[in-house]
Each structure stands twice: as structure tokens, then as C-alpha cells.
Amino acid sequence: MRKRATAWTITILIIILSTIISGGSSLNKLRQETIDIFYLGEKMNGVGIQHDLNMIMTNSVNLTVVAGRYLGQGHELIQKVLNARDALNKAETPGEKYDAAQELLSSVTELYTYLGNMELKEKDQNFRESLYAEINSHNIKISRSTYNQYARKFNNLLNTFPANILSKVAFIRPVELYE
């Protein structure tokens, strides 16, 4: 009788453990797929939010090159853009990247506006305008990204049964939103 009870206990523990492992593995896979959308895009073609942030950083530096011809590279508005770009480049989580991107966009707009009040060569004026248009275009693409929808869907899943239990046991954390 004692052997039978021990066998049942071991069987139940094995079932529970395998459920936790497989459920946790499935949740972890879903979590990673959601994070991948941030970096690679919904179609996994490399055009996610991170791609657009990289393009914004590149175009913002190009704007500082144009500005440097008229203001000098040490000008405070140029340095403000470069510092904001560096902060975005160093940001690690979607929330940190969002905050840093907002700061960069603000400093780029300030520099763009300042240059608009100056007498620029036609080529530089056109370049200034096209860079700013590209920066705004990438920002619009980011605003239309489906990443936050997928992140919310995943985070909501973690609040439903049995995922709410499995996520705690398997240490699966919610995904940070880009906001």
C-alpha cells in the first residue's frame, strides 16, 4: 500500500513538473516572439521599431553635419542632438528607447527650427528638409507598429489561467511596451 501511494505521488509530481516545464517553455517562446517583433518587425524582415530608431539616429547625425557648417560642431543644439542620439543608442529596454527617442526627436526639431531661421545654401536647405522629413517618416512608421499590440496581448495572456500560475513558477515576466 505504501509503495502504491509513493508511486502515485511520484507520478503526480512528474505530471506537474512536466506541465510547468512545457507551459513555461511555451510562454517563454511567445515572449521571445513578441520581443522579436520590436527588433525584426511583424513579418520578421528586419524592419521593426529598432530599424526605424536606427534610421532616426543616422538622420539626426546627418542633420548635425549640416548644422555644423553654419554653427560649428561645438554648438549647444548640435551637442544636444548628439547627446540624445547617444542616449538612445545606449537605451536597452523598449521603454528606455521610447523616452530617449522622444528626447532625440525634440532636440532634432529644435535644431531643425533653429536652422530654418538661418540663411543656408540651397543644397543644405534641401538636405535639412529631407532629413527632417525622413526622421518624421520613421517616427510615423514606429507609431503604426504592431509591437505594442502584441506586447499587450502577451501581457494579458499572463493574467489568465493557467498562464498566471505558470508564469510565476517559470519566472516569465511581462514584456515592456514601447511607450
Quote the pLDDT of residue 155.
Answer: 97
User: What does the radius of gyration of the chain's CA atoms come to, in whole angstroms?
Assistant: 24
Q: Does the predicted model carry a pTM greater than 0.85?
A: yes
Contacts of 129 (CB under 8 A, 6+ apart): none
Q: Which is more confident, 9 or 34?
A: 34
| pLDDT single digits (tens) 122-149 | 999 999 999 999 999 999 999 999 999 9
Q: Which domains does the chain have, with CATH numbers?
A: 1-44+147-179 (no CATH), 49-144 (1.20.1440)
- In 3D space, the residue among 44, 37, 30, 176 whose CA is nearest the CA of residue 98 turns out to be 176
Q: Which of 17-26, 29-38, 140-149 has the lowest mean pLDDT?
A: 17-26
Q: For the chain, give the secondary structure using H, E and C.
A: CHHHHHHHHHHHHHHHHHHHHHHHHHHHHHHHHHHHHHHHCCCCCCCCHHHHHHHHHHHHHHHHHHHHHHHCCCCHHHHHHHHHHHHHHHCCCHHHHHHHHHHHHHHHHHHHHHHHCCCCCHHHHHHHHHHHHHHHHHHHHHHCCCHHHHHHHHHHHCCCCCHHHHHHHCCCCCCCCCC
| pLDDT single digits (tens) 43-81 | 999 999 999 999 999 999 999 999 999 998 899 999 999
* Residue 16 in this model has a pLDDT that exceeds 70: no
- b (16+ CB within 10 A) / e for 131-169: bbebbbebbebbeebebbebbeebbebbeeeebeebbee
Quote the pLDDT of residue 163.
Answer: 86
